[in-house]
Each structure stands twice: as structure tokens, then as C-alpha cells.
Amino acid sequence: MAKTHCTVLTASRSPGIAEGLTYDTGALNLALGSHVHVPLRNRTVEGIVVEIEEAHKAKAYELKAVEKLLGDAPLLTQAQISTLRWMAKHYACSLRQALKVWLPSPPWSALVPDIRTVYRLQESNAPLRGSKQQAIVEELAHRGDLTREEIREATGASSATIKALAERGILSVMQEEAEGERQPLLHIDIEAPKLTPTQQQVTQAMHKDKRPSLLFGITSSGKTEVYAQLIAQCVGSGKQAMLLVPEILLTEHCIERFRSLLPPERIAIVHSRLTPKERRATWVRIHRGGIALVIGSRSALFSPLKHLGLLIIDEEHEWTYKNEQTPHYHARETAQELCRQTGAKLVLGTATPSLESWARAKSAEYHLVRLEERYGSHPLPHVQIVDLAQVKFGSLYPFSPPLLEAIEERLKREEQSVLFLNRRGIASALLCLDCRRRVVSPSSNLPFTLHRGAGGTPYLLDHTSGMQADVPAQCPACGSVRLHAVGAGTQRIEEILARRFPMARLLRADSDTLTHPEQMRLLLKTMRERRADILLGTQSVVKGLDLPQVTLAAVLIADIGLSLPHFRAGERIFDLLTQLTGRSGRAKPGDVIIQTFRPQAPEVRYAAQHRTEEFLNEELKLRMQFGYPPSTQMIRLILRRDALHRARILHVQAETAAHEHRQTVSVTSAPVLASAGVAWHVLLKGDNPSALLPYLDLSDVVVDVDPMECI
């Protein structure tokens, strides 16, 4: 038998062994993902086996051996280990950093099923000696296998009496998992959803095509029913399914639909707001095998499903699928690798595809399918654009007369309104009210951000290049003096509504009022039971909510998103505006009002006219023209300690490496605002910036591959 070695990631946090240590497997029958005890210095620690290889030649030093195999099943499958290794390579992190998203925090022994010793009655002709032995045999014949403690409690027999029966072959000693530890995925009765002919065609097409499928369906087209059918087919074939949603708060919204499809005990809910104890219990429940469907936010991607057959990412365009802590993974890219390793089907659903997915669909890397009609043949809402530059607000800013009239009309008709505040734009841009252009940086061609320095003196800053400039007295484009700082204007919204409509029942949905999925469930229940008239909120109110009585949806200031100094700003605001149109008119004719200082902006016009595909194609052309993703790759290197000095050194290292290794990569560095003060980032952009990383000093540097935030 060939001698084998294995690489073990230990529970130790020592930075020097973050890629694992090599051990001799000895006589143990180990597999990838096995949970083991290994010696480390002068103690024994837990570890996970991440590689096994034949020992072709002796090591220059003597290897220590794995001491013990824990549990009868690996904690992670071979496909999950392979995906973990891919994450470490692709996202430039250590194996240990990648492992932490796959397993709850140590001790991992708490994840291993309890093993108990039981006694089983055997066929034997040996005579029984005494009443205690007779009582033991009768108890086992009646109840089946029992532990020593259970036998002693039921019969009063001593340990010596039990041992004597075992030695004479009347009882056998067995090792088994505690009762209920394993829950095999048995046949589940599923009531398949009723689909329209178009939905049936789309489902069949995705079922036949092995590529990742991009389900491009307009808002309210019935994507959820397509998901339900795909899940029913998957579970019916004996496989397991996973459904990712972009927001924790939306988990409660969608789960009710699937509880009517599958028994609730066969569904597990996973999200980052679970307590450590809840996360551990949920992980164990999934690992034991009885879960048919996992629903959750991006962290649910790492659930220990052993027979994954289907992975759906709903609202695949959402930025929340990007993890902003190490490892800086994107759920879409990681899911694609996991499906490649497991053979599972990947489905990406959205009404507004991300530019990355759209480019892959156009190149046939992804299978593109469309749902082009609203479910039930309901018409798309009528969209009105209000030019805020022509409005005299008085004390009601940012409410225009058309919006106030529309709200009042809904109150009279006892219908509901949804008002959206794009709070992501906290800083302001400088906008010309005559030519409607923003003051942009000549360095990056992206909008300057308006800041206030010491003493309140305003200045302009380009967060991409670091360039600073004075605030101009006139518009650089047309010479107008009508320059306006476009701010969020969100502080007094609720107060204005309460004053203007004192009888209206108002609900607010933002990070202050929604901290748990249960709160979102209660909010939705209040809206569906028509115990509220106006729902005022941030991004959570535009994402996938099905509220039949809403006939008015409005965005108060679309320009907050448009003014962000970011190459993705247009894509982001278009997504939000398009999603907003989907909240109105789902059961009866509806209206949408978009208030903006830039009514001719392409993002606004295309969203108002429901021309999603045209916007995607135009935006893709611009990305290609200016060399932004998906036409190139970006890597952000973030420095916080001695940031300016080290950023300069890293900048020079990157430029030198690009020149010496003939890589077409541009390098820029700039300050960025961080929670702990000002940090610096060095941005690499090109065809293959990852090729430069081995030549850079990345000690104490955060590496963010494919960053979503670059300002």
C-alpha cells in the first residue's frame, strides 16, 4: 500500500501555517474534508484535510502523523474543498481565510454527531443467570438497542451484569450516532406549480441546457414560479437545491412561497444575522442530510449540501452578493465554480442583468432565456419623469406638486404608495441646472465629490485619482452660474409626509427600523392587510416585494445615484429605477414617478421607457470604450497602516512589474474614506492584473479582486 501524506488546515490562528501543514496519514482512511486531530508543537489540535497525495519521495524531515479521524463523514465534500482552493487562488487569500466561510467557528467537534455505545440483543442459546439478566433481555427485546445507562435505569442491573451478557455473546456492543442525527433525503411529495406556457418553455429550456442560465424576466413576470418548478424537478430527482436572495430582509418574504412547495422541516434558512449558536445548529441540520432546499443570503452559498443539483441566484445583479470582508468573494463567481465542481445547474434570475452576466450571455458563455410579459398579462405601469430643476419647492423639498397630487389621489382611492429614497449617495456632486452636466474630474472623467474642509471651505475631490480642485464659480461646460450641490435630502421626508398628510398611515423601512427578517415580515403583513397607506424606505422597498394594492411608486431624487463618482453609477441607478417600476401595478393599473434634475440622462430615459436591453447594450459599449469591467479586470489593494508611504511604494512596484512582465495594466492610487480614518488604495486595471500580485509586497494589504466599490 502506497504511503500518503495530507495537508491539514488546523484551528490554530498562527499566520505562518495559514496554508496548512503536511502530515503522514498513517493507517487512517482519510478523505478530503475529513475532520481530524493532529499534533501541533506540544498539543493536539483540530484540523480539516484539504489535500491528500501519494508520498513519491521521503521528506527531508520526519513528518508527524494524524492522530485521529473524527466522525464517520467528512465535514466538507471533495467539490467544496476544490471550490475552497479555487477561492483562495482567485481572490488572493489564504486557505484558512477561505475556509472560515465554509465552517462555523471552532471547535468543529461540536459539528460531529454524538457517537454512543449501545447494546443489541443477539440470537443465543446460552442460558440466562438470574432475574437481572432476564430483565435485560426482555427490555432489549421490547425496546431495541439501548445504552448502558438506559439499561441500568430500566432494570436496575449493574454494569458487571451487562458486561457478563456481552462476554457470553447474548449481547453485542455497537457504536452508533445518537438518535435522530441522520435524516436521509427520502421521497418528498411535491405539488408542482402551475405555469403559463411561456414559463413552461423557459423551464424546459433551462433544464436541458447545461450552461449557467441567465433568466432575464421583466418585473412581475413570474420568475418565482419558474424557480419553484426547477426546485420541484431537482428535489423530485433526489437532489438538493439552493436559492440565494440579495437581502437578509427578503428571506422571510420569499420563504412562504416555498413552504407551500416543500414540508417546512425540509427547508433551512441561512443568513449572516444568525447567532453563532443558530448558525452552528443550522449547519449541523443541513449536514445531516434531510434538507432539500436552503434559502438565504450570500453566506448560504457555503451550506454543506452533499447532493447539490440546483443553485439559483435571484436578483443576480445586486451588489450585496459581493463580500466586503476577506475573502472578498462574489457569490456569482463562486457559485459558478461550485456548480462546475458538483455538476449542479446554475440559474441567475433578474429583471436587470449585471453587465458581467449580460456580456457572458451575449458571448454564449451563459444560456439566455427571457420572460417578456408580466404574469397575468398585467400592463407595465405608466412612468412620469418630473424635472426638479423646474419645481419651486418652498418648504416641501423634495416633493413636487405632481407627486403630492398622486399620493393624495391614492389616499382617496384607498390604494397604497411606495416612496423610495436612494440613501447610498451621502456625499454631493456639483450639478449645472442649465446644461444638466456634473462637474467631472479631467483625470478620470468621473464626477467630483463635494467636500468641506477646515472652516467649512468647500472643495472638489476625485476619489479615483486623488485629484483635488477648487469649486468653480461657473459651469466648465456652459458657463452658467447655476451650480447646485445634489445631496440626499432625506432627513425631513417623514416629517413632511406627516404634516402634509396627517391622516395617512405611514411605514418606514430603512436600516434603523429593519434589523431582523421578522420585522420585514411584519411590515409586509401590514401592507398586504392594508393597514398602511404609504411605505417610505431605502433600497429594501424596491427589491422583489409583491404588494398588490400598490398603484404608485416614486423615487424622490434619482440624481443621488447618478452623482456617485463611480463607473457603475449608471448601472446601479438604472437597476433601482427599473426595480421600482416593478412595485407598482402588479394587480391593477399603476403609475411611477421619477423625480430628477437630469431628465435626459440615459439611465432615467431607458428605465422610464422599459428599454432594459438597449440600456445594457449602450452601457456595455461605454465600458469597452473606456476600459472598465467587464471588458477588463480590476483589483483593489487597500492599505490602512502607514498608508500614504506604503501606497507610493506599492504603486511603483506594480508599474515596474507590469513593465518587466509585459502586462497591459494601469495603476492608480488614491485616498479613500474609511471607518478608521483615511486609507489608501492602489487600483490595478487591465486584462490580467492578477499576474502582478506575486511580484508585490502584500504584507498587511487587503486584496479585493473584482471590487464593486472603487471610491
CATH code of the domain covering residue 104: 3.40.1440.60
What CA–CA distance (Å, rounded) separates 563 from 487? 9
- The amino acid present at 410, given as its one-letter code, is R
Instruction: Tell whether 601 and 457 lie within a shared domain.
Output: no
Phi, psi of 450, rounded to the nearest 5 degrees: -85, 125
| pLDDT block averages, 10 residues each, the chain of length 711 | 87 90 92 96 94 76 90 93 97 96 92 80 88 92 89 91 91 70 61 89 96 94 93 94 86 78 91 87 92 95 97 95 94 98 98 97 98 82 93 84 96 94 56 86 78 71 77 91 66 81 88 71 87 87 77 87 71 90 84 92 93 96 92 94 91 96 93 69 94 94 87 49
The confidence score (pLDDT) of residue 115 equals 67
What secondary structure letter does DSSP report for 428? B
User: Would you tell me how many other CB atoms lie within 10 Å of the CB of residue 477?
Assistant: 14
| H, E, C per residue of 594-607 | EEECCCCCHHHHHH
Question: Nearest 5°: CA angle at 162, between 156 and 164?
Answer: 135
Residue 187 lies in a domain: no
What φ, ψ does residue 93 adopt, rounded to 5°? -130, 170
Task: Answer yes or no: do 659 and 521 share one domain.
Answer: no
Interatomic CA distance for residues 359 and 364, integer angstroms: 9
Residue 425: predicted pLDDT? 33
Taking the C-alpha atoms of residue 299 and residue 305, their distance in angstroms, rounded to an integer, is: 13
Q: Which ranges of 91-181 does DSSP label H, i.e. alpha helix?
A: 95-99, 131-143, 148-155, 159-167
Q: In what order do the strands lie in the sheet with 68-70?
A: 21-24, 4-10, 43-54, 35-40, 68-70
For residue 493 the three cell numbers come to 421626508
Q: In what order do the strands lie in the sheet with 677-686?
A: 665-674, 677-686, 633-639, 702-705
Q: Does the residue 185 lie in any domain?
A: no
- Whether 344 and 311 have beta carbons less than 8 Å apart is answered as yes
* Residues 652 and 700 grouped into a single domain: yes
Long-range contacts of 193-200 (CB under 8 A, 24+ apart): 193/225, 193/228, 193/229, 193/232, 193/261, 194/225, 195/222, 195/225, 195/226, 195/229, 196/222, 196/375, 198/371, 198/372, 198/373, 199/225, 199/226, 199/229, 199/371
Specify if 250 maps to a domain. Answer: yes
Angle subtended by helix axes 131-143 and 148-155, to nearest 10: 120
46, 47, 50, 54: which is closest to 31 by C-alpha? Answer: 50
Peptide bond into 327 cis (omega under 30): yes
Kindly tell me the sign of the dihedral angle through the C-alpha atoms of 131, 133, 134, 140.
Answer: positive
CA distances from 139 to 120, 135, 156, 160, 588 (A): 11, 6, 11, 17, 67
The Cα-based distances of 211 to 338, 361, 370 in angstroms read 13, 10, 15
d(C-alpha 237, C-alpha 112), whole Å: 28
Three-class secondary structure of residue 168 per DSSP: coil
Show the cell assigned to 321: 452578493
**For residue 463, what pLDDT is reported?**
65
Q: Which amino acid is at 508?
A: R
Residue 700 shares a structural domain with residue 646: yes
Please tell me whether residues 564 and 658 are part of one structural domain: no
Q: Are residues 173 and 224 in the same domain?
A: no
- Within this chain, do residues 315 and 411 fall inside the same structural domain, yes or no? no
Confidence (pLDDT) at 544? 62
Number of alpha carbons in the 13 Å side-chain half-sphere of residue 87 = 32
Last residue of a domain, one of 568, 597, 625: 625
Q: What are phi and psi of 267, to 5 degrees?
A: -115, 135
Contact 242, 293 (CB under 8 A): yes
- Running DSSP on this structure, what letter comes out for residue 300? G
Q: In whole angstroms, give the CA distance from residue 627 to residue 445.
A: 12
Q: How far apart are CA 246 and CA 321, in angstroms?
A: 6
Q: Where are the alpha helices (DSSP H) in 490-566?
A: 493-500, 517-528, 559-562
The total number of residues shown for the chain amounts to: 711
**How far is the C-alpha of 103 from the C-alpha of 9, rounded, in Å?**
12
281-302 per-residue burial string, b: 16 or more CB within 10 A, e: under 16: ebbbbbbbbbbbbbbbbbbbbb
Is residue 560 within 8 Å of residue 425, measured between CB atoms? yes
Return the pLDDT at 346: 98
User: Of the candidates 90, 140, 143, which has an alpha carbon nearest to the alpha carbon of residue 120?
Assistant: 140
**Of 609, 625, 641, the domain-final residue:** 625
Strands 382-387 and 458-461: unpaired
Is position 53 within any domain? yes
CATH number of the domain encompassing residue 335: 3.40.50.300
C-alpha cell of residue 525: 403583513
Query: How far apart, in whole angstroms, are the C-alpha atoms of residue 431 and residue 476?
Result: 11
Q: Is residue 182 part of a domain?
A: no
Residue 427 CA to residue 565 CA, distance in Å, equals: 10
Give the whole-angstrom CA distance, residue 408 versus residue 16. 65
Give the residue among 471, 355, 494, 356 at the shortest CA–CA distance from 423.
Answer: 494
The strand pair at 240-244 and 293-296 is best described as parallel
Query: Taking a C-beta distance cutoff of 8 angstroms, is the pair 273, 251 a contact?
Result: no
461 and 579 part of one domain: no
Say yes or no: 107 and 163 in one domain: no
Cβ within 8 Å of residue 621, ≥6 positions away: none
Query: Do the domain assignments include residue 189?
Result: no
Is residue 192 in a domain?
A: no
Whether residues 371 and 396 fall in one domain = no
What are the cell numbers at 215?
Answer: 433568466
Domain boundary among 148, 177, 206: 177
Question: Are 288 and 277 within one domain?
Answer: yes
Q: Which three cell numbers stand for residue 393?
A: 419647492
Residue 375 φ then ψ, to 5°: -60, 135
Which 8-state DSSP code applies to residue 438? Answer: B
Neighbours of 30 (CB within 10 A): 19
Question: 431: which 3 cell numbers?
Answer: 450639478
Q: How many domains does the chain have?
A: 6
Domain that holds residue 444: 429-486
Which residue type sits at 399? F
The cell 431495541 sits on which residue? 144
Backbone angles phi, psi at 338, to 5 degrees: -60, -40
- Comparing CA positions, the residue from 15, 13, 105, 26 lying closest to residue 62 is 26
Are 660 and 675 found together in one domain?
Answer: yes
Looking at residue 677, its amino acid is G
Residue 419 maps to a domain: yes
